[in-house]
């Protein structure tokens, strides 16, 4: 069992249509035995045929595990226990963010003895040494950016539930394939939810109090792709150029969130995701507009010329495609209206659809972090957010 040990790394990124064809040539760099983790629907017959036949040609022994839900500690522990003695040389995930997070966690946990729960931030008591089996990430959705991050999100849903990260600099994928052709079969609802997740991550990392010139450049590049392609790709999933733009934006969102952090929307996604069985992208998509509206309102009361307002104006110009509006308040309001349009046009459901009631607001707010938001929302503001999108 070959184990990578290193201080820090960025993934080798292979970007572009049909790059999946070179998967086997990357796998054999690490060995001849691969644990392939996929989603049930995302691993279509066409993709399956391409991947497995390619691996067979290289004489690679393939173990295949299908994941049908967001990873929880039991899932990770069970996979690790099953394949611990199979001499796995490389773990490869092909699927959405949950599948990639599963593979990322499994590759790390195959090298240690304890349950993954022992190493989760805010839950466990141990620090992971950072060892892992080489890991290859291949997204089939454009949303989480997990293909370029150093953390795997693990959930336990329920009254005392959590959504926490297994994190280490070494857990960044060894190799990432971003092949937009693999997203062509992604259905409209998942395309919409994952796209809103990428949109939120790019905007929140751009506005984050920890943002840098480096992350700003990447976030703006990604936001431009979102403005050009999100609505378009949901309406026509066969538009390869739009799919490529969204793949690029999602990939960048992973890089920017890893370096700049995220804001209140993702704080809600963490707390709500631990308490209720609700897709991560839905939480982001449904809360994004109202969270930003209240953040802007607070910022304007504080200072019309502050850095965050200027950043909001920059993004507004990208999405409104209209620099003739001189009044800053009008531009900001129209940008918020634009996000609400995205929310409605992409059919982001209300929170009540997932069993959330007003009685749950207190515990949700108590568990919600908004430390990186350009203006930390008060408990009253957070209550307004939830009430508005119930």
Residue 3 pLDDT exceeds 80: no
Buried b (16+ CB within 10 A) or exposed e, 147-166: bbbbbbbbbbbeeebbbbbb
Instruction: Tell me the C-alpha distance between 372 and 388, whole Å.
Output: 22
CA angle (180 as vertex; 318, 20 as ends), nearest 5: 150
Classify residue 97 by burial, with Cβ atoms within 10 Å: 0-12, 13-18, 19+. buried
Tokens of 33: 């035995």
For residue 323, what pLDDT is reported?
Answer: 63
Ordered by start, the domain boundaries in the chain are: 12-183, 188-388
Helices (H), the chain: 23-27, 45-57, 73-83, 97-109, 188-207, 213-235, 240-260, 264-275, 280-302, 307-320, 328-345, 361-367, 379-388
Model confidence band, residue 322 (pLDDT cutoffs 50, 70, 90): low
Per-residue pLDDT, averaged over 81-97, amounts to 95
Coil, helix or strand for 45? helix
Matching fold, domains 12-183 and 188-388: no
For residue 186, what pLDDT is reported?
Answer: 93
Assigned CATH topology for domain 12-183: Rossmann fold (3.40.50)
Q: Over the chain, what is the mean pLDDT?
A: 93
Q: Which residue has the higher pLDDT, 52 or 63?
A: 63
Tokens of 46: 């066409």
Model confidence band, residue 304 (pLDDT cutoffs 50, 70, 90): low
The two beta strands, 135-139 and 90-95, are: parallel
Using an 8 Å Cβ cutoff, are 310 and 220 in contact? no
Assigned CATH topology for domain 188-388: Dehydroquinate synthase-like, alpha domain (1.20.1090)
Q: Which residue from 129, 115, 107 is spatially nearest to 37, judged by alpha carbons?
A: 107
Using an 8 Å Cβ cutoff, are 191 and 233 in contact? yes
Using an 8 Å Cβ cutoff, are 35 and 84 in contact? no
For residue 8, what pLDDT is reported?
Answer: 37
Residue 185 pLDDT exceeds 70: yes
Chain position carrying tokens 């995701």 = 273
Tokens of 182: 């693999």
Model confidence band, residue 159 (pLDDT cutoffs 50, 70, 90): confident
Coil, helix or strand for 193? helix
Instruction: Tell me the C-alpha distance between 87 and 35, whole Å.
Output: 10
Chain position carrying tokens 């966690």 = 105
Residue 284 pLDDT exceeds 80: yes
Q: What is the pLDDT of residues 198-214, one digit of tens each?
A: 999 999 999 999 999 99
Residue 6 pLDDT exceeds 70: no
């Amino acid at each position: 069992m070959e184990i990578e040990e290193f201080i820090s790394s960025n993934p080798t990124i292979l970007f572009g249509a049909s790059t999946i064809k070179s998967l086997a040539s990357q796998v054999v760099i690490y060995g001849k035995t691969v644990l392939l983790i996929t989603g049930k629907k995302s691993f279509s017959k066409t993709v399956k045929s391409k991947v497995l036949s390619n691996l067979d040609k290289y004489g690679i022994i393939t173990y295949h595990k299908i994941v049908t839900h967001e990873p929880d500690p039991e899932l990770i522990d069970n996979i690790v226990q099953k394949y611990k003695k199979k001499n796995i040389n490389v773990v490869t995930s092909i699927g959405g963010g949950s599948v990639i997070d599963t593979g990322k966690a499994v590759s790390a946990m195959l090298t240690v003895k304890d349950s993954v729960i022992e190493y989760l931030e805010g839950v466990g008591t141990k620090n992971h040494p950072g060892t892992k089996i080489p890991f290859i990430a291949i997204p089939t959705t454009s949303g989480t950016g997990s293909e370029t991050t150093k953390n795997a999100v693990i959930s336990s849903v329920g009254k005392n539930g959590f959504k926490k990260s297994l994190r280490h600099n070494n857990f960044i994928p060894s190799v990432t394939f971003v092949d937009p052709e693999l997203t062509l079969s992604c259905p409209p609802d998942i395309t919409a939810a994952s796209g809103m997740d990428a949109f939120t991550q790019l905007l929140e990392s751009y506005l984050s109090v920890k943002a840098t010139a480096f992350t700003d450049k990447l976030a703006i590049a990604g936001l431009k792709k979102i403005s050009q392609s999100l609505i378009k790709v949901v309406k026509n999933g066969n538009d390869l150029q739009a799919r490529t733009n969204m793949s690029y934006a999602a990939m960048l969102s992973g890089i920017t969130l890893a370096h700049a952090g995220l804001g209140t929307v993702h704080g809600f996604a963490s707390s709500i995701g631990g308490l209720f069985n609700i897709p991560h992208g839905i939480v982001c998509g449904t809360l994004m507009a109202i969270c930003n509206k209240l953040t802007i309102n607070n910022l304007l009361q504080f200072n019309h010329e502050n850095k965050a307002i200027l950043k909001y104006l920059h993004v507004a110009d990208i999405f409104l495609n209209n620099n003739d509006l001189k009044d800053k308040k009008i531009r900001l309001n129209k940008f918020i209206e634009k996000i609400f349009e995205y929310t409605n046009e992409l059919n982001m459901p209300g929170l009540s659809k997932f069993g959330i009631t007003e009685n749950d607001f207190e515990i949700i707010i108590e568990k919600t972090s908004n430390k990186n938001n350009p203006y930390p929302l008060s408990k009253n503001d957070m209550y307004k957010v939830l009430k508005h999108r119930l």
